[in-house]
Amino acid sequence: MPRGVKKTVILPDDLIKEVEEVARAEGKSFSAILREALFLFREERMKDEFRAIQAYWVRKAREKGILTEEDLERYLTENEGSV
């Protein structure tokens, strides 16, 4: 694993205890549990961003009457060169 940078974080006591319990139960370090949690958090944020982008383009497609792949194909063919 690539070497990381040490940082100081302040966590509430109850969260520290929970992370320590999970680390002990899974045989991992405290840092490994936090790292995994942050990776999962980042993944969820990326999924949320993707869903927002997808919703935007679904809205735009519906505004143009594009509801199926056939509609999209027809739209692209009719608007070739202007898209």
pLDDT at 56: 97
From the CB of residue 33, how many other CB atoms can be counted at a distance below 10 Å?
19
Q: Model's pTM, two decimal places? A: 0.70
Could you give the number of structural domains in the chain?
Answer: 1
Question: Does 58 fall in a domain?
Answer: yes
Q: Evaluate whether 65 touches 72 at the Cβ level (below 8 Å).
A: no
C-alpha atoms less than 13 angstroms from C-alpha of 21 in its C-beta half-sphere: 6
Decide if 6 is inside a domain.
Answer: no
Distance CA 52, CA 7 (A): 32
Evaluate whether residue 1 is within a structural domain. no
Q: Judge whether 7 lies within some domain.
A: no
Confidence bin at 1 (pLDDT 50/70/90): low
Which range of residues forms the domain containing residue 51? 13-78
Residue 66, in any domain of the structure:
yes
Indicate whether 5 belongs to any domain.
no
Instruction: Give mean pLDDT, residues 49-74.
Output: 95
pLDDT tens track for 29-60: 999 999 999 999 999 999 999 999 999 999 99
